Amino acid sequence: MNRPTLETQRFLLRSLEDSDIVHMAELIFGDPDIGWRFGLVADTSSPDAVVGTARHWIEEANSNWATGGWGAWAIQPRGSNAIPERPFLGFCGFFDPDPPIENHELAYGIAKAHWGQGIATEAATAALAFLFQETEARQAETVCHPTINLGSSRVLQKAGMRLRGQIDYCGSVAAGHGLFNHFGIDRADWLNWHASTAPSSRLLPE
Ligand SMILES: CC(C)(COP(=O)(O)OP(=O)(O)OC[C@H]1O[C@@H](n2cnc3c(N)ncnc32)[C@H](O)[C@@H]1OP(=O)(O)O)[C@@H](O)C(=O)NCCC(=O)NCCS
């Protein structure tokens, strides 16, 4: 599948482009309130590292679209397609799983100016709907630090994911970060959850 665009109630989830490297670097990984929250899976140790991380995450998303038919999106307001510098509120989608996670790993980040408006929840809900409606994925997983990612834990619960336990994520225990909360949802649970909530998002025609 090419890189699809999703439409939610308020947003477009569109492909991540090279022009988004600067957004990902400045608004996500380079923001002192955000970058460190990606901890062990994003190098934010210097301005060059931040740009490299932003480029790497976009390349990984697009490589997964090319080979697996799933990936990640940039989030922009609906109705802003005509703006040449396509607006960027944040990103959301699926990335290669980091050990010991084995399945599509959900990740997102929202630019700080837009926190608290339900953007991450709306985007994560649409991303999960895409995964289970348009691909043959059996489940999605992710992790949150139990104390520094409380907002993210709430987003995952609102998007239908469930706490499965705690895991040593990418060497988090040896690195002194302790155990991470492990969230997941499988296809059957998602179908039940979707039937009871019926969130609205749709795949736009190419
Ligand atoms: C976590 C993040 C994605 C949330 O984005 P957002 O668009 O503001 O999220 P939403 O508005 O959809 O929902 C946030 C929820 O978390 C709650 N929340 C936020 N901060 C919280 C905190 N410190 N403790 C408890 N709950 C918190 C909000 O009240 C809201 O829940 P509610 O709707 O029940 O009131 C955003 O803050 C972010 O980008 N953080 C840094 C990156 C990050 O942590 N990514 C996830 C890595 S695991």
Residues 87-123: tens digit of each pLDDT: 999 999 999 998 889 999 999 999 999 999 999 999 9
162 vs 37: which has the higher pLDDT:
162
Say if ligand 1 is within 6 A of residue 25 CB: no
> Where do we find the tokens 């989030």?
75
Residue 1 is assigned to a structural domain of this protein: no
- By the 8 A CB rule, do 16 and 75 touch? no
Rounded distance between C-alpha atoms, residue 185 and residue 145, angstroms: 18
Say if ligand 1 is within 6 A of residue 34 CB: yes
**186 membership: H or E segment, kind and range:** strand 180-186
Say if ligand 1 is within 6 A of residue 120 CB: yes
Say if ligand 1 is within 6 A of residue 146 CB: no
Please choose, from the candidates 81, 84, 105, the residue with its C-alpha nearest in 3D space to the C-alpha of residue 12.
81
Alpha helices in 24-118 (DSSP H): 47-68
Separation of CA 107 and ligand 1 centre (Å):
12
Residues 116-150 pLDDT 10s: 999 999 999 999 999 999 999 999 999 999 998 99
Beta 90-95 vs 104-110: how paired, if at all? antiparallel
> What CATH number has the domain bearing residue 126?
3.40.630.30
Q: How many domains does the chain contain in total?
A: 1
**Separate counts of helices (H) and strands (E) for the chain:** 5, 9
Closest atom of ligand 1 to CA, residue 144: 48
- By the 8 A CB rule, do 51 and 25 touch? yes
Residue 52 is assigned to a structural domain of this protein: yes
Residue 39 is assigned to a structural domain of this protein: yes
